[in-house]
Structure 1
Amino acid sequence: MGSMPRIRLMDHDVIVVGAGPVGARLATVLAERGVDVLLMEEHASIGRPFQCAGLVNPWSMQQVGLNDTVLQDIDGATIHGPHEASVSVGVPGEVRTSAVCRNRFDEGVVHQALNAGAKLRLSTLATGLLPIEGEGWRVNYRHESSTGTATCRLVVGADGAHSRVRHWLRCGRPKEMMIGNQVEVTGFDTEERWLEMFTGMAIAPGFFAWAIPTGFGTHRVGLWSAPERLDEASPEALLHALMHTSRHAPRFANCQVVARYCGPIPGGMVRRPVRERAMLFGDAAGLAKPTTGGGIGPGFKQVSLVADALANAIHADRLSEKALKKISRPWDDLRRHQTRARALRNLFLTESDDDTLERHVAIFAQPDVTAMINRLGDIEHPVPLGIEMLRKVPSFRPLALKAGWAMLTA
């Protein structure tokens, strides 16, 4: 009789580098399925530094049930054109997204992972990977003033936009990398449960700025753009101009800044999100939404698509690159949707000058178009709405051929 192949004893089945919400969610679903998971987090606490707008869509919130972290439910948005046009979309009482306390939300997801049996090491920076041929990885790390090594069958990079794991594995880079700047303020007055978006080349070239209500009289005010569109400006300077010299400045006159945040926003899944006994998740994989920059929803979806198959493969120790590519095949739909959403964003927003943007917002404000947006609009799935507007709104029909070509070539 043939003998079973010897499997090296490892410290852990899986090491997840990065204990943000996506890494912690992956650790939870794997630990619930009997996998030995270690979360390795470089910072001394969970949820810091906070670098995003902190919006969580209803589906993602259902996955974790952390409704007590919600600061403000949001039903819709008011979009301001570069000049005078504006439009409000959404239905009062129908929650489209929620602003959460990211510190409490992230801690909540990590606690779920720990309750499921995962382990956590804080203040632990992964410093390198060494392959154990055909069997796993040695993850070198630095913890405070000491160094060490932990071994695993599968290593996961969930370590953010500038992922070290992605770099070490040579997985490629996200299709685009935006940068954002945000402040938390008191004294901004807006409609309850409604966020606001501000467009224009002088505000956020090719993208938009936002004011998100976060309860208790506070708002997160920020913007994002691509570095190549900023010329010599900086996100900080553009945000200052929005609040002090733009046509919207009077609305910010009574604002007091109570916190500041900044960070990168990766868009476009990397070329190789799986390698031999290795995978990338969330921002490390380039999964931020090209239309809003949000990463929690796509990251949670990425986890849900592979949870069962991945846990089974870990237990069977079938973790070759070929096997992981098969497991991650459902991610192809995420990649396609992301690519099409970026093409439509470029068409309606990024590649439009101020006069064109103003016309677009004015068209959105037409009652039949607003009704279409309210009926089909979905923060997570903007492509059906974009296609429907190109098909049925006469003013957008000249864009249809360009859109079709952009989506085909994308």
Structure 2
Amino acid sequence: MDTSKLIGGRFKVKDRPVSGAMGDVWPAVDTKLGRTVALKFLARRRLRQQGAATEFTDWTVKRFGREGVAMARVSHTHVAQIYDTGEHEGELYIVMEYVQGRSLAAYLQEGPTLTLERTVRWTREICEGLYAAHSSEVLHHDIKPDNIMITNEGKVKIVDFGLASFADVTQSHTGVGTALYKAPERWAGSPGSVRSDLYSVGCVLYEMLTGRVPFGSPQDDPLTVGRMHQDNSPAPPSAHRPGVPQQLDLIARILLAKDPGERPRNAEAVAVVMSDIQHSLGAEDVAIAMGRPHALDTADSNAGNSERIQELDRRIFELELRLGPHGQEVIEARTEHAELTGQSGDARGAAALYNRLGRDCQEFFGPYDSRVLNAFEGVARWIARSGAG
């Protein structure tokens, strides 16, 4: 593609694209409004070369335009805004909000599993964004960690609304990335619904809780994974990660129900449940530890912990940008983040955060620095509290 020309008469491409199976994403400057945007191209030629099941026609191009109009109606803090659609040198593109941050997939690849607080909070935000889209009659069709961005402020932005829907028309849609999160009814030929998106949310929640998808792996044949989605029942997340609250086991099971009618009626219902879990996260553990199993103030205390953890997420991002990852204020904020995670009831999450901090401090300051020893002391302390031994 010739990037020396203005795309659509106004967008000047900068830097290099990020390539994916469906096309490329280019950062660009909107010369008219003076803002950075993302141009996502749907690579028709590439799809044809890969054996796309349906050829592009004038009808599909018109549908792409209609999808853009529908997506532009969705305005929500947890959905990447769509600004425009167009065509350049035979390739269709969408102009969308430029999100500064990393994908959820990148967080999951770091390992170990996410803390419970982040898992619950990000699932709530995913569902809030989905409900806004569904209310505008826009389905996603491809909810997965790659399509969930986490901003530098620690907030969810769902990307690729409508583009995934359009992809269904143009190809068989059995790529592995989709197969791992695709609802059973869609394997049976159904076009999908609100509840199909919620099934995919269940797969993402399961992976955030356990570090693994409920069915199969990226190395498995997609059709084999499809049969698992249709026929198998996954173990509860707590079977893979002791300490997962019973409420999260339950909501994961409901979201992953084979029958769409047994799943929640809409994404808002899931967001409300996740908000309740977020505010009570660890409440029972803390109350028992204090000798007050029925303490009334525990939920308020843990809601405060959650808010402080969110604020620390933002503060750590900001400090790392200003001071670099080895700044003393960054180390102190990460230590506080680990402690609050443990105090919220997620002892394993606290141990994981301390372990990552300890390894980073080893690299920054050497193996015998006091900050390294303090971090690994935190690992041992919170592992002991988790009962993992």
Fold shared by both chains (TM-score > 0.5): no
Please state which structure has a larger fraction of its residues in strand: 1
TM-score (structure 1 length as normaliser): 0.25
Looking at both structures, which has the greater relative contact order when contacts are Cα pairs under 8 Å and sequence separation is at least 6? 1
Relative to the length of structure 2, the TM-score reads: 0.26
- Give the structure with the larger helix fraction: 2
